[in-house]
Amino acid sequence: MARNLARILRGCGSLVPFMKTPARPPRSSSSSIPVRTLVEMLPSLFSSKPRDFSLPNSSWGEEMMRLYEHYNGHTETEGEENQERKWNRLPSYNRSLKYAAGGVYLSKLIQSKARLFTRNIRDPGAAFEYVLFIDKEKEKCVCIFQAGHLLEGPPGHVHGGAIATMIDTVTGTHASAISAPVLTANLNIDYRSPIPLGSTVLIESTLEKTEGRKLFISCKVTSTDGSKRHTDATALFVSVSIGHLLKG
C-alpha cells in the first residue's frame, strides 16, 4: 500500500510544482518511502483547508502544552457568565497573498509560495513556535512562545531580532484584532535578560489607549512563572485602509 501511495504522491508532485517532495530514502524490502512521511504529506495533498500553525505539534515542550491547555481551558463559551477573563485562541495561517506593493497581481505560483515571515519555516520546533490568545474585550493579548534552534543569537540564547519580531507580531496581531488593517509606526524595545533557546516564555500585550487611527500598546516578555522579566516594549500602530496597502 505504501508503494501505491508513493506513486500517487509523485504524480501529484508533478501537477503541483511548488510542493517539495521529500528526499527518497534507501530502498528496503517493505517500502520505498517511510509510512510516517506519507501520513504527514497526505493531509496537505487531499485537504484544501490551510494548516493552523497555532495548534499543538510534536515539537511543543511540556511547559508550552501546559500553558496552551490553561488558556484554551479558559476560552469563552456561549451563555457563560463572564466571572473571569475569557480567552479566544487566534488561528495562525500562512499568508494568502494576491497583490504586491503597488497593487500588482501576483501569479498563482508566487501566491502559493508566499509565507508569513514567522511561518516561513515548516519544520516543527525549528524556529517560531507560538500561539496567541486574546481576551473578550480585546484589551489584552497573550502569546505562548517557544524559540527553536534556528533563532540563535548569543550562544545558546535567542537573537534580539527574533524577539523583536515576536513582539511586533503579538502587538500587531492585537492591534489588527481591534482595528484591521494596521501598520507599525513605532516600536521601542528594552532588552533586560536573554532568553535561552528552547525555552518557553509569555509575551503579554496590553492596549493602553487609542487616539483616532492610532493605537498605543505596551508589551512585556517574561518567564512563564513571571519571576524573570526578559523584555519590555511599547508600540504605536496606525489603522490604514486596504487601498493604502495596495498602493504601496
233 three-class SS: strand
Catalytic: 168? yes
Q: Would you call 41 helix, strand, or coil by DSSP?
A: helix
Residue (of 118, 173, 172, 189) closest to 150 by Cα position: 118
Edge-to-edge strand list for the sheet holding 200-211 = 87-90, 128-135, 140-147, 200-211, 214-223, 229-239, 182-191
Question: Among 86, 90, 203, which Cα is nearest to 143's?
Answer: 203
The residues near 151 (Cβ < 8 Å, ≥ 6 apart) are: 127, 128, 158, 159, 162, 197
**Distance separating alpha carbons of residues 81 and 76, to the nearest angstrom:** 9
236: cell is 504605536
What distance separates the 2 farthest-apart alpha carbons in the chain? 68
SS3 171: helix
CA-wise closest residue to 88 among 125, 127, 141: 141
From 123, 135, 168, 225, active-site residue: 168
Q: Give the DSSP letter of residue 55.
A: S
Catalytic residue set? 168
